[in-house]
Amino acid sequence: MKPKKSLGQHFLHEKSYLERIVRECPLEGKPVLEIGAGPGNLTRYLVKKASEVFAVEKDPEAVSLLKKAGLERVRVVEGDALEIPWDFFQEGVCAGNLPYYISSPLVRKFLQNWRRFSAGCFLLQWELAEKFTSPRGRKASPLSLLLYNFYEPSLKFSVPPGAFAPPPRVRSGFVVFQRRPSPLFDFPLEEMEEFLRRVFSQRRKTIYNNLKAFYPPDKLKGLDRRLRPEEVGLEELFRLFQMFRRD
């Protein structure tokens, strides 16, 4: 099938990279929720190691091809992965060659369902792959910090544009998120996400200057006025979260 630009389709076709993705992804006979299965290039390799694959795809043409392929232990789920609930999937691994333009909201939805997934294995634009696996420093973000709380992140390898059809303009990175035995810190996910967004609201400003737009002066007492978001890690930010959450 011809990839559709409107859907951000770039199909991975290079066999060596498809095989390497499956080697690096901790499937271990588990069910897999594949996001954006397309015509099934990756699906065919995932199902070799997985107990079954739930292939989610919104493109009717790709859905038709997947169904006609008649792959054993593959259940085709037609719909937009961002829109449909993932309740049909109980527990296992989330994987996919994610469309660049909706990678962040898809990874965020994966995070929101962290109890469902023992691991996440995603092919992303290289810049996002670096960002999502950076829990501290200039590349850190609210999403990368939240992911780090629940998962051990690892940027495994890069994939050149020529391995895709059509080739994207930039290289891609394959990342694996392995769920921790228990989260590093216990917090309400949505509340912590909102707090981190405030902390990172203007990256060049200090944490103090960012937070003073949201909290009264008495709440800011004792806060180091020199610290910038990129200079602190999750532990320090969790302590701040607790401090500002208190009545």
The CATH code of the domain that includes 241 is 1.10.8.100
pLDDT in tens, 162-181: 999 999 999 999 999 999 99
pLDDT in tens, 82-113: 999 999 999 999 999 999 889 999 999 999 99
Q: Are residues 102 and 51 in the same domain?
A: yes
Instruction: Tell me the HSE value of 34 on the side-chain side, using a 13 A CA sphere.
Output: 33
How many domains is the chain built from? 2
Q: Are residues 41 and 59 in the same domain?
A: yes
Residue 204: pLDDT band (50, 70, 90) is: confident
Q: Are residues 220 and 173 in the same domain?
A: no
Query: Which among 33, 65, 67, 31 is positioned nearest to 51, based on CA atoms?
Result: 31
Domain that holds residue 89: 5-179
Count of CB atoms situated within 10 Å of the CB of 217: 7
Whether 175 is in a domain gets the answer yes
Q: Flag whether pLDDT at 246 surpasses 70.
A: no
d(CA 215, CA 74) in angstroms, rounded, equals 51
Q: Are residues 101 and 127 in the same domain?
A: yes
Whether 184 is in a domain gets the answer no
Sign (positive or negative) of CA dihedral 194, 195, 196, 198:
positive
**CATH no. for residue 56?**
3.40.50.150
Give the residue ranges of DSSP H helices in the chain. 15-24, 43-49, 60-69, 103-112, 126-132, 142-150, 189-199, 207-211, 234-245
Q: Are residues 56 and 99 in the same domain?
A: yes
Report CA-CA distances (Å) from 11 to 15, 18, 62, 105, 134: 12, 11, 11, 20, 26
Of 179, 204, 232, the residue that ends a domain is: 179
Q: Are residues 210 and 240 in the same domain?
A: yes
How high is the pLDDT of residue 129?
Answer: 97
Q: Are residues 28 and 137 in the same domain?
A: yes
Q: Are residues 48 and 111 in the same domain?
A: yes
Q: Are residues 104 and 165 in the same domain?
A: yes
How high is the pLDDT of residue 8?
Answer: 79
Residue 129, judged by CB atoms within 10 A of its CB (0-12, 13-18, 19+), counts as buried
Q: Are residues 205 and 121 in the same domain?
A: no
Whether 40 is in a domain gets the answer yes
